[in-house]
Chains A and B, each alone.
Chain A
Amino acid sequence: MSDNTDFTQRRRRLFDVLPEAMLGCSLLLASYASGAATTSGNLAPAILQDKEQQEKLIVGPNPRCKLGNKIDEEDPCSDESEDEECVPKWICQPDEDEDEDEGEDEDEGEDEDEGEDEDEAEDEDEGEDEGGSNTGSAIGVCQNPHPEPNKTVFNVSSEQANQASRFLNHATLGANYATITQVTTMGEAAWVESQFKLPVGKHLPYSECLLAAYMAFDNFEKADAVFGDPVEFRRFSWWTQVMTAPDLLRQRVGMALSEIFVVSDKVGQLGDELEPLPGYYDMLLTNSFGNFRDLLFDVTMHPTMGVYLSHLNNAKANVQKGIYPDENYAREVMQLFSIGLFELNLDGSRKKDGQNHDIPTYNNDTIRQFAKVFTGLSYSGPEAVFGDNDEEGYVYFTQPMKMFDEHHDVTAKTLLNGQTLKAGQKGIDDINGAIDNLFNHPNVGPFIGRLLIQRLVTSNPSPEYIARVSAAFNGTNETPRGDMKSVIRAILSDPEAQSAKANKLREPFLRIVQLYRAFNATSSDRTYNNEGYEIQEHINQFALSSPSVFNFFQPDFAPNGELKDAKMVAPEFQLVNSATVIGVKNYLHFTLLGEEVFATPQHFAPVWFDLSYETALAGDANKLIDHLDSVLTYGTLTPNSRAAIYTAITGVSDAKKRVLLGIYLMMVSPDYAAAL
């Protein structure tokens, strides 16, 4: 990985200008509303004034909209003439038709749940974008295709609500009270099955739509002021999809996978271009309910991973020139993505040799053998060539890498468990052979199973829990090995997940996400275009922004003190330090008590909570606390904390302020920081 100084600098710069830019916001909003979309240069987020940088950003990666605002001929949404402006069409792609949508998808034919209603969506779209295209108004241009959430609240007991809430805290990135009562009524298992059927709430289409809207401006400075920096669009997409896509379970699992199969915007090219990260994320989402073997293959073949772990443009050995295959991906695919360092039993414990030592799964020679497998890959795309072609020409970040057999190492390879790939095979056959070799290693179930349990449910699953999940991974008469749906069912329905024995520290980022999700943050245009830099400054975390391939925290991390003494792990504590502990609290403070809205570029509607349900309860402080306890801590609020919060909120008479103070205190409490 290479460091991304430019990006860091830019982020720093953004952070520095933020206070001033925000002061100017109301002015901008007013002039915008009156139809004069003018901006005074000084407050136009001085985020990206470097034209060259900007053009590179736009010309390079996007196959849909070239500079000049033309629609790519292959655009499935395009029934306008080619000369018209490239009108953003997020609305054209509500459910994704993967097979036809060439620019979009990254894997070869899979998916069962396809073939939906492209046409209907397009009709709706017609009328709307006329007014929008010239002003670039997002309303009616990048219109959110997701249905409005169902706000029905059923009458359920607090025990039922607590149980559903704990479940939804494992299965989603945060659920509001309506969803909690709906799941109670529906049943957890039935809810999971219904979630499996929902289409993929992909992140890239909205980014692309925003870019197209951005490109409709003749002037980048203006466009920056209206839409923000295109570098941020993937972050806007992240929020908008996570807040509104109905596939809640998939969005949760996808986030977990992104913390296992790590790529990051800390690598320049990935952060600076539009497609690499949301394209990769969509691949993870798409595979979340598929088979692990396909997931591992798609991760391996994704150009974003190819850039991140440098097996893209990895050439076969040239001994005369002293050139050998890059070993980076070969190592990490074993260590982090599939089998781990040591031979494992079904329950995740380490196997021992005769001398009671751990047994390594591979050695350096194995790495060199696998390194030969991952040679010959480069971008696909009409102008793609093997080698140094990322400066010019079209390359795709939305399609798997292409094998250039002349650069592939065709010597025989010895893989795990003595299995071999014979000499002279096609490159893609070698890769398939290597993925099969890894996929069929007995470690994968316990290794990946434990990681997923840790992300979704608990830091210290019992060996029995791991064994049950491993068994689901390994398959039955009815389900194949690697079936992700079986693994997810096993993780979420396990008795250990349904008790307060399941302990973990909440990831700081997910605390923030849950705040917005649980309390119905809404905006009139249903977009949530926050770049997240400020959140990141406070808590050192944002999706796809890990400092290294080892994620924000490692699975075996234990902080000094009681937890380490008790031989327990608490990975998320790796993000806890004197800066972030305060940072989380400060963020919650200015959001809830300072009533600062979720910052978005001025073009978009402001985001604020819908607290109508809570405000209606505010007259009875105990009822309000019961409700917050159900939603956030599923009935595990301690009597002391309850009393402390009760005293505080009964000191405030204004209903809204009482609710905000109650939420704030709940969310900064130790009771919430650690999920039980």
Chain B
Amino acid sequence: MSKTLSRRDFLKQSAKFGVASTVMMSSLASFCSAANAQPQHQGGDYKALVCILLAGGADSFNLLVPADNVGYQEYAKTRADLALSKSQLLSLNAGENNGRTLGIHPNLTEVQSLYNTGDLAFLANVGTLVKPTTTQELANNTAVFPYGLHSHSDQIDQWQSSLPDVRSGTGWGGRLADIMHSQNADQTLSMNMTLAGNNLFQSGVTASQYQLDARGSGAIDLLSYEDGDDLSRLSSNAIQSMYGDNYQNIFRRAYVKAFNSSISANAKVSQAIGASAAFGTQFGEDEFSRELLMVARAISAANTLGMKRQTFFIEYGGWDHHDDVLKNMAKMVPVLSKGMASLHSAMTEIGMENNVTTFTASDFGRTLTSNGKGSDHGWGGNHMIMGGAVKGGKVYGQYPSLAINNPLDTGRGVLLPTTSTDSYFAELALWLGVKPEQLGSVLPNISRFYDSGSAGGPVGFMG
């Protein structure tokens, strides 16, 4: 290769030979020792949560749908032109809940088999709640509503913070990492990894987040010169000097910190993931699947990275279907279903299926009624939890009546949630190993919904 590493070489290299190029980082990242890849982790004490954020507010009453005659008629009447046809719905073994028999969206084929084999559960009508709220309070106009209900930015934040009564700078995954990060061997690399950039879910008081790149070996390689030629040495020395300085200005200091931690983290991650073995599972070519594959690779490198507890954050956006909800969902639901199944299959390959739990989140459910083209911003919605540790094959929570003006209907089929995000997430946090007495620091409002001294879990899907 010529003296300068050109852009095209760089691109190729980062795509194909990620490991090799980490060597070039040594001039800047002094810690970058050539650690030998550890044998791949087979379960053991490792646990990870994978959050799939269906950004935009998925119309999840078209994901989990009443399939019994009475329930379906109610559904069809309310949803009008947004209703799926009854014959298309996929059936669930043991799909009964709250007097309904539930089916699922016709494109959730893989989810159907995961459910039927017990590796996936649904949670019905979950959403942001300030405190337990009754239909009586709703009727009396004494119900306390979340801040900015129906607003994307507020609700997408509250699903990540689980604090619907304040604006929070931290998310529950971040607060969880504040407590649990000390269990990981490497204290310099964040246990919270994201494929969707900085996010509230993984922001803690001290915990930060590490951005994985779906391409290459997970980390962006630092472009530098080979061979230690003069220009390389000169520029590296200058950069080291500048990024080793203690700046007076707070913005510059903050940038220096971000830069340095990025360089060191990238070197480690790139090496570990680059050394991980390939999966037999075929992931799709779409971006969501590529990101899931990178999560799978990072989990398989977890041991090398000294991780015992992790969270991953993936965003699959584009669910804000004010228009063409049926058509758009028919395109997006298969991607979701196939992607989730690929992740589960890859985890099974490396013996980690019981150590990784994947769950969905979304800004809100959507209005049951139509705006003529699609649905608008709602409140409660239905979600999925996947993994070997999940007590799957069951719909948890209470599937609501979909009749217009039923007691939970706050107008236009916007449903008061019957399970809070706090209960949903507490179940996951306890599984990951948060002690009951620590639950309040992860989910500050949890005591309003759940007595952490009680024997059973807040919802029950993790046992």
Residue numbers of A with Cβ under 8 A of B are 1-5, 8-9, 12, 15, 18-19, 22-23, 266, 310, 313-315, 318, 321-328, 331, 335, 341, 364, 367, 459, 503-505, 534, 540, 547-550, 554, 558-564, 566, 568, 570, 573-583, 585-586, 589-590, 593-596, 638, 640-641, 643-645, 647-649, 651-652, 657, 661, 664-665, 668-671, 673-674, 676
CB of A657 within 8 A of CB of B231, answer yes
Within 8 Å by CB of A18, from B11, B207, B254, B367, lies B11
CB of B8 within 8 A of CB of A328, answer no
Shortest Cβ distance from residue B160 to the other chain A in the assembled complex, whole angstroms: 13
Is B138 engaged at the interface, CB distance under 8 Å to the other chain? no
Residue numbers of B with Cβ under 8 A of A are 4-8, 10-12, 55-56, 78-81, 148-153, 169, 194, 197-198, 203-213, 219-225, 230-231, 234-235, 237-239, 241-243, 245, 247-259, 261-263, 265-266, 285-287, 317-324, 328, 331-332, 335, 367, 369-374, 376-377, 404, 412
Residues from chain B with Cβ under 8 Å of A579 in the complex: 211-213, 219-220, 262
Residues from chain A with Cβ under 8 Å of B8 in the complex: 18-19, 22-23
CB of B234 within 8 A of CB of A8, answer no
Interface centre among B210, B318, B404 (most CB of A within 10 A): B318
Q: Which residue of A lies closest to B14 (CB)?
A: A586
**Alpha-carbon gap, A41 to B171, bound state (A):** 51
Q: Would you mind naming 16 contact pairs between A and B with Cβ atoms under 8 Å apart? A: A5-B286, A9-B287, A310-B374, A322-B79, A326-B322, A331-B150, A459-B251, A578-B211, A589-B224, A638-B248, A644-B238, A652-B234, A670-B253, A670-B259, A671-B247, A674-B252
Residues from chain B with Cβ under 8 Å of A547 in the complex: 317
Shortest Cβ distance from residue B265 to the other chain A in the assembled complex, whole angstroms: 5
Please name 19 further chain A to chain B contacts, defined as beta carbons within 8 Å, in addition to the given A2-B328, A652-B230, A657-B231, sorted by A numbering: A1-B56, A2-B318, A5-B286, A19-B12, A310-B373, A313-B373, A323-B372, A324-B376, A503-B249, A503-B251, A548-B317, A559-B258, A560-B207, A566-B250, A578-B266, A640-B242, A641-B241, A661-B231, A664-B235
CB of B369 within 8 A of CB of A323, answer yes
CB of B234 within 8 A of CB of A648, answer yes
Shortest Cβ distance from residue B188 to the other chain A in the assembled complex, whole angstroms: 12
Shortest Cβ distance from residue A28 to the other chain B in the assembled complex, whole angstroms: 15
CB of A593 within 8 A of CB of B231, answer yes
A-B contact count (CB 8 A): 262
CB of B245 within 8 A of CB of A638, answer yes
Interface centre among B237, B249, B252 (most CB of A within 10 A): B252
Q: Which residue of A lies closest to B5 (CB)?
A: A594
CB of A561 within 8 A of CB of B372, answer no
Q: Which residue of B lies closest to A577 (CB)?
A: B211
Q: Which residue of A lies closest to B206 (CB)?
A: A560
**Alpha-carbon gap, A648 to B332, bound state (A):** 52
Whether A670 touches B150, Cβ cut-off 8 Å, given contacts A1-B320, A2-B323, A18-B11, is no
Within 8 Å by CB of B223, from A19, A585, A673, lies A585
Residues from chain B with Cβ under 8 Å of A566 in the complex: 250
**Alpha-carbon gap, A624 to B367, bound state (A):** 62
Q: Which residue of B lies closest to A599 (CB)?
A: B7
CB of A648 within 8 A of CB of B238, answer yes
Q: Which residue of A lies closest to B193 (CB)?
A: A578
CB of B238 within 8 A of CB of A581, answer no
The 4 closest A-B pairs by CB, nearest first: A3-B318, A674-B251, A644-B241, A19-B8
CB of A310 within 8 A of CB of B10, answer no
CB of B153 within 8 A of CB of A554, answer yes
Within 8 Å by CB of A563, from B209, B250, B265, lies B250
Shortest Cβ distance from residue A506 to the other chain B in the assembled complex, whole angstroms: 10
CB of A574 within 8 A of CB of B198, answer yes
CB of A560 within 8 A of CB of B263, answer no
**Alpha-carbon gap, A589 to B9, bound state (A):** 13
**Alpha-carbon gap, A364 to B150, bound state (A):** 8
CB of B169 within 8 A of CB of A558, answer yes
Within 8 Å by CB of A651, from B234, B318, B367, lies B234
CB of B331 within 8 A of CB of A640, answer no
Interface centre among A335, A580, A594 (most CB of B within 10 A): A594
**Alpha-carbon gap, A594 to B210, bound state (A):** 28
CB of B369 within 8 A of CB of A324, answer yes
Residues from chain A with Cβ under 8 Å of B252 in the complex: 670-671, 673-674, 676
Shortest Cβ distance from residue A318 to the other chain B in the assembled complex, whole angstroms: 7
Interface centre among A9, A328, A661 (most CB of B within 10 A): A328
CB of A325 within 8 A of CB of B371, answer yes
CB of B251 within 8 A of CB of A505, answer yes
**Alpha-carbon gap, A341 to B148, bound state (A):** 8
Shortest Cβ distance from residue B430 to the other chain A in the assembled complex, whole angstroms: 25
